[in-house]
Structure 1
Amino acid sequence: MSRILPIVLCGGSGTRLWPLSRKTLPKQFAPLLGDKSLLQLTLERLRLLSTDVMCVAAEEHRFLVQETTQAAGVGGSQLLEPSARNTAAAMAAAALLAEPGQLLLFAPADHHIPDPDKLAATVRSGVAAAQAGYIVTFGVVPTFPSAGYGYIRQGAPLEGSAGEQGARRVDAFLEKPAADRAAQMILAGGHFWNAGIFLVQAQVLLSALAQHAPDILESCRRATARPTRDGDFIRMDRAAFESCRSQSIDYAVLEKSEQVAVVPFEGVWSDVGSWNAVAALHPCDEQHNRISGNGFAIDATRTFIHAPTRPVVALGTRDLLIVDTPDALLVAHSDNAEQVKDAVSLLTTRGRSQATRHRRVPRPWGAYDSVDDGERFAVKRLTVKPGAKLALRMHHHRAEHWVVVKGAAQVLCDGTATLVRENESIYIPPGTVYQLGNPGKTVLEIIEVQTGGYLGEDDVVRFEEGSEPDSTQAAAQRLIA
């Protein structure tokens, strides 16, 4: 069996799952099922095929992906997109960086497939067709006439060994149909939901792009001509990649190519595209209520509650979706689940930050949570990973007061290193060159109180290694040591 390299496509904004999914934390990174994100579940599934995985992700999400790959127990690299350009460009860039004969399995990061063994077996059954020069897609056997999914209509079986495992030619890709048309297709048989999972040799995909979307291929070829590598991160040329037009692989290649095959997948699958879909992933009680977290339903029917932190009580409700987060609450009728994106648009036009940003912001060293803010003050909770440190920095307009609530902090202030223990505090005046580090083996937690006339996140000067004063550099070395 040829080695398969899974490539996880981590793009997408996921506005239909607001307020949990936002631009800074799209649905693939949000903990939708227990404490695991859809990306982590995807990586754990693909681990059955390979522990070496490439993720194609936005530059701003690179640390979220890095954190998740570590939690999932997989290694590999991240191909960073300077801007979103849809699946055709993402797949083209990944294929250009692979060996020509490498089998690439492209999979979305935000789908739910609870039977990883069945998926792995289905993917392996498509290897012969992929090696024979086909782009192999995996069609989900439909369980109901959905008008929300695209469909694949199968054609004749492939010839020879390529068709031994049930692979057939794709006769057509069909747009999302009306409900009655979807019912007709299911009754007719031979139609599958399009899950957007593809197995293909790198050279086969590149040849198809050269034939059907040469402009996309050329832009990506220029973007990947001289990639830069920083640890696990692979960066492309920004200008070249951003010159690429945005189009899905379905429209750019698959609907035009005659070398596309389909292998049926008979397992459970969901694209988790709405809060109704999320609700369906949870068990229901006798009144058909579904609860995630700290939700309570009293005399309620067909109500979904997502309450990861504080208690949320639904009393006498019917057919509601209730989604709670620390800084925004959604209450919607289940019939209006597809209109959540309109709420995001409204909040965006009103200039509300909750439309796109969460309170908690991940950073390579850990995260910060904006607890409270007002005139001339802001309160944050910092968590710093064991052995991690913030970059050496300075603020012009704000002072910072830190109280260590868990662990011990090593703090560098204008060349003087200090160890600040639990229940101790330290004051960082404006204009101080400072650095925070966690020398311990557990997570460091700090309550930070900012004061001053301007508290914007852009009031920061970060120093590159070697650019700070000699005394500060020497103390920084002692701090790191």
Structure 2
Amino acid sequence: MWPVSRSSRPKQFLKFGTEHSLLQNTLLRCQAELFDDRPIIVGAKGHRFLIAQDLQEIGMSSDIVLEPVARSSCAAIAVACLQAERRAQEAIVLVLAADHHIPERGAFVRAVEVSLDDVAGGNLMTFGITPDHPATGYGYILPGERLVAGHRIDRFIEKPDRVQAEELVASGYLWNSGNFLFRADAFLAELQRRQPDVLAAVSAALDKARTDLDFLRLDEEAFCTSPRVAVDNAIFERTEKAGVLPVDYDWSDIGSWDELTKVLPADANENVTVGDAAIVDGRRNVVHSDGKLTALLGVDDLAVISTRDVVLVTARSRAQDVRSLVGTLTASGRSEANEAMQIFRPWGNYERLESTQGYQVKRITVNPGGVLSLQSHQHRAEHWVVVDGCAEATIEDAVCTLEANQSIYVPAGSRHRLANRGNDPLVLIEVQTGTYLGEDDITRFDDVYGR
């Protein structure tokens, strides 16, 4: 979903024109008596404040466990199971990808309920989606012998080509949703049998974990010793206890811009738009525009994605190949491949509006109660102009209050801090000038967030 989704702010934190992000919808989907009211989120340390903000927006709390490095799904699920067992010895764990679209909440909850009898018998269940077309972007599962509600899994097939996908759909295969349900002890027993090195590494990382604000940070040295293996390959394709429940609710992993047509309504010409967009004499187009008007004339079957720093134009039939384009851009050193214009911090966020030799302009939003670190910069000065809210500015030993339309100058080398003591967001424009404007030109003297 590049360029809107980037490694610094991936798609699970995006809203795609809807009220909630994909992560928020995943959490809200599990608000039922069937589920524990405090989920466990295993995520990357670089995304910790994005996770916290999403939770805050929907008024939920969670155990947030931070991975120091990525070790694929097997290690992440092992972390969640061990954490769940600390709460309850007979814990049942529902493992959900944070970025899937399942609009039918009732059907989803019923599917989980129906699977509990099979889970009680020690089976490791997954949910198989009944295909409505021969997709090439999903793995496939062949259901076999009947269990209580689901089926034993006879065979896994990785992402097929078009011809094979048509054959698989005709033969009764299901899409592999990558969502799972099992007893924590049953999964950990299979993990000990199939991937003991993963379990040993994760157990040590959790035993040595430390609390940081609202986060639990896994020990990096221990966690790094875990093999990087996906749970499908490591466990489900090898165990005789794997089962699948066929389901027919709407589902998408929103893996490409073409998939956005499953999430948002189309117009009379089958065009799907998000943001400021206009289409004349065009059909079956997908347009996502952040900020500027994006206009199409006389074209069909395109995905046109416009952000502040990137415009992507691709045939919808090639939307799955965008990741290869990102790989090429990364290899060539283009920062746009991975870095988003809007960067989130524990106190709020900032957005780069313009950057060139000698100066940079940012829009900074400080949440109510947010406090930036007491810091200094060797190579740049800063000018702050408040446009909304009320700022408390500290420069050396002087503290002053700035309201809308007021400004202050921060000399290079001076100790300074910005805070929002009010109840409304503080928005200001920061103009940086100097010989070097990198984010690593910072010395912190005090930080309430422990950075």
Local SS of the residue matching 1:185: helix
- How far residue 134 of structure 1 moved from its aligned partner, in angstroms, is 1.2
Q: Secondary structure at the match of 1:362?
A: strand
Deviation at 1:465, TM superposition (A): 6.0
Check if 1:432 corresponds to 2:432: no
Judge conservation of contact 1:44–1:73 (CA < 8 Å) in 2. Answer: no
d(CA) in 2 for partners of 1:111, 1:404 = 39
Secondary structure in structure 1 of the residue aligned to 2:66: strand
Identify the match of residue 112 of structure 2 among 119, 123, 146: 123
Following superposition, the deviation at residue 76 of structure 1 comes to 1.2
> In the alignment, is the contact (CA less than 8 A) between 2:375 and 2:446 conserved in 1?
no
User: In the alignment, does 2:184 pair up with 1:198?
Assistant: no
Is contact 1:206-1:217 (8 Å) kept?
Answer: yes
- Pairing 1:185–2:168 present: yes
Residue in 1 that maps onto 2:92: 103
For 2:191 and 2:309, how far apart are their aligned partners in 1? Answer: 44
Counterpart in 1 of 2:10? 26
Name the residue aligned to 2:79.
93
TM-score normalised according to structure 2 size:
0.95
Moved over 4 A (4+): none
Quick check: 2:348–2:367 contact (8 Å CA) kept in 1? yes
Map 1:343-354 → 2, pairs under 5 A = 343-354=325-336
Aligned to 1:108, the other structure's residue is in SS state: coil
- Provide the residue aligned with 2:144 in structure 1: 155
Cα pair 2:358 2:434 within 8 Å, conserved: yes
Deviation at 1:252, TM superposition (A): 0.3
1:380 corresponds to which letter in structure 2? K
CA distance in 2, matches of 1:34, 1:224: 36
CA displacement, residues 145-193 of structure 1 (integer Å, 9 cap, x when unaligned): 22321112112222xxxx1xx222222222223433333333333x321
Give the Cα separation in 2 of the matches to 1:280 and 1:313. Answer: 22
Aligned AA for 2:248?
A: E
CA distance in 1, matches of 2:25, 2:38: 15
SS at match of 1:357: coil
| Secondary structure at 1:36 match in 2 | coil
Say if 1:74 and 1:51 are closer, same or farther in 2 by CA, change over 3 A. farther
Question: C-alpha separation between the residues in 2 aligned to 1:187 and 1:329?
Answer: 39
Write the distance in 2 (CA, Å) between the matches of 1:295 and 1:361.
Answer: 25
Instruction: Give the C-alpha shift of residue 418 in structure 1.
Output: 0.8
Residue number in structure 2 paired with 1:42 = 26
Q: CA deviation at 1:258?
A: 0.9
Partner deviation per Cα, 1:308-339 (whole Å, 9 max, x = no partner): 32211101112211001111110111222122
Task: Judge conservation of contact 2:26–2:100 (CA < 8 Å) in 1.
Answer: yes
Match of 2:404 in 1: 422
* SS, match of residue 84 in structure 2: coil
- 1:277 Cα offset (Å): 0.8
Aligned partner of residue 52 in structure 1, secondary structure: coil
Q: Gaps spanning 5+ residues in structure 2: where?
A: none
How far apart, in 1, do the equivalents of 2:136 and 2:2 lie? 22
For 1:38-437, what aligned pairs fall within 5 Å after superposition? 38-48=22-32, 49-99=35-85, 100-158=89-147, 163=148, 166-189=149-172, 191-437=173-419
SS, match of residue 39 in structure 2: strand
Q: Which amino acid aligns with 2:72?
A: N
Query: Does structure 2 conserve the Cα–Cα contact (< 8 Å) formed by 1:51 and 1:73?
Result: no
- 1:355-391 Cα distance to aligned partner (Å, 9 max, x none): 1111111111000111112222111110000111101
Three-state SS of the structure 2 residue aligned to 1:463 is strand
With over 3 angstroms needed to count, the CA separation of the structure-2 counterparts of 1:388 and 1:221, relative to structure 1, is same
Moved more, 59-68 or 73-82: 73-82
- Residue 242 of structure 1: how far off its partner (Å): 1.2
Q: Deviations over 1:111-150 (max 9, x none)?
A: 1101111101111111122122111111111112223211
Residue identity matched to 1:216: V
**Equivalent position SS for 1:339:** helix
Q: Residues 448-472 of structure 1, C-alpha deviation per residue, up to 9 Å, x if partnerless?
A: 1111111111111111369xxxxxx
CA contact (8 A) 1:438 1:444 kept: yes
**Kindly, what percent of the aligned residue pairs are identical?**
38
In the alignment, residue 109 of structure 1 is paired with which amino acid?
A: A
Aligned residue type for 1:350: S
Give the CA deviation at 1:23: 1.1
C-alpha RMSD of the superposition: 1.6
Question: Is the contact between residue 275 and residue 291 of structure 2 (CA under 8 Å) also seen in structure 1?
Answer: yes
SS state at 1:129 partner: helix
Contact 1:399-1:450 within 8 A present in 2 as well: yes
Residues 257-311 of structure 1, C-alpha deviations (whole Å, 9 max, x = no match):
1112211222000111111111342322332222222111011122211113221
Q: Distance in 1 between matches of 2:3 and 2:447?
A: 39
Letter in 1 for 2:371: K
Structure 1 Cα separation of the partners of residues 338 and 37 of structure 2: 33
The 8 Å contact of residues 405 and 423 in structure 1, kept in 2 or not, is answered as yes
Q: Distance in 2 between matches of 1:178 and 1:428?
A: 59
The AA in structure 2 aligned to 1:123 is V
Q: What is the aligned partner in structure 2 of residue 478 from structure 1?
A: none
For 2:150, give the aligned amino acid. A
CA contact (8 A) 1:53 1:74 kept: no
Count of matched residue positions in the alignment of Structure 1 and Structure 2: 443
Go from structure 1 to structure 2 and tell me whether the alpha carbon gap of 1:376 and 1:177 turns closer, same or farther (over 3 Å shift).
Answer: closer
Amino acid at match of 1:19: P
Q: Distance in 2 between matches of 1:107 and 1:344?
A: 26
Cα drift, residue 35 of structure 1: 4.5
Distance 2:249 2:412 in 1: 59
Matches of 1:229 and 1:286 in 2, distance apart? Answer: 53
After alignment, is 421-430 or 248-257 more displaced?
421-430
